[in-house]
Amino acid sequence: MLIKSNELGLTMKKLPLILLATLLPFALLGQQKQEEYQLFRAGVLAGFNVSQVEGDGVAGYNKIGANGGATAYVRFHENMSVSFEILYSQKGAKRTLTNASPECSYKLVLDYIDVPVLFNYHDTKIGIFSAGLSVGNLIRTKEKRQGLETPIPNNSYNSRVLEGVVSVTFMLTDNLGLNLRGSYSLGGIGQRTLNPNNPFDKKCLSGNRFGTLRQFNNVLTLRGLWRF
């Protein structure tokens, strides 16, 4: 079949439009991919901890405290990234009147500025799976026994601690996520001495263990994530 010169000229003029119409969907898809997997992305986190201190003679995740701060993701692969966080995190231990006699009420406050560094795997169907390490800087300590604040012996708790962290973030939308996290201190947070001659220690805290005991933070966290 022969094509007349005027028809060929008309076809050549339309060729850019044809190519544009053909390639536009792929260009838009590529742009969407580029936006979906941004190299750098920041966000904010807000929620709460439920925590206990192992080695203090008080069992159970009874201490509730705030957890919140900022995060930044550096994406180096479609499914992988490294993230950094700066958090204010309230930890400690608590025995309330609901699970012990009134004379055994106890509360330990340990507030930290935590800086986690995490490796993340991004699953498009579920969310973000994370694991890594966190450096905690202790900024406040307080202890109450029988409702009264009591002095904490010097150097009982380390000013800086290292924690192992695992978490999963369920992404509800591209911006909004729900984060569940568990963390445990590596090497301990310090040590306390439980004295068998102290009535409170003997009745409320010892768990039949006396002497100088190493202690560890054991924390579960629930937070919301908003990514910009």
Q: Is the pLDDT of residue 78 over 50?
A: yes
77 and 16 in one domain?
Answer: no
Q: What is the distance of C-alpha 82 from the center of its chain?
A: 13
126: containing domain: 40-227
27 and 45 in one domain?
Answer: no
pLDDT at site 180: 98
73 and 178 in one domain?
Answer: yes
184 and 89 in one domain?
Answer: yes
Mean pLDDT of the 73-92 span:
94
Domain count for the chain, please give it.
2
213 and 135 in one domain?
Answer: yes
Choose between 1 and 94: higher pLDDT: 94
Choose between 111 and 151: higher pLDDT: 111
46 and 28 in one domain?
Answer: no
40: left (phi over 0), alpha (psi -120 to 50) or beta: beta
The predicted-structure confidence for 16-32, as pLDDT tens digits, reads as follows 566 455 545 544 444 44
114 and 23 in one domain?
Answer: no
Residue 168 to residue 102: CA distance in whole angstroms: 38
State the pLDDT confidence band at 207, using cuts at 50, 70 and 90: low
Residue 219 to residue 115: CA distance in whole angstroms: 15
pLDDT at site 55: 82
The H or E element spanning position 19 is helix 5-36
- pTM score, whole prediction: 0.79
Mean of the per-residue pLDDT values for the chain?
A: 83
Mean pLDDT of the 166-193 span:
94
pLDDT at site 37: 67
pLDDT at site 65: 97
Q: Is the pLDDT of residue 122 over 80?
A: yes
Tokens of 169: 């973030």
Vertex 88, ends 86 and 94: CA angle to 5°? 145
Of 39-48, 91-100, 146-155, 186-195, where does the model show the most confidence? 39-48
CATH number of the domain that 68 lies in? Answer: 2.40.160.20
The predicted-structure confidence for 126-139, as pLDDT tens digits, reads as follows 899 999 999 999 99
pLDDT at site 155: 81
127 and 111 in one domain?
Answer: yes
Residue 153 to residue 193: CA distance in whole angstroms: 9
Nearest to 225 by CA among 35, 71, 65, 113: 71
Mean pLDDT of the 207-223 span:
85
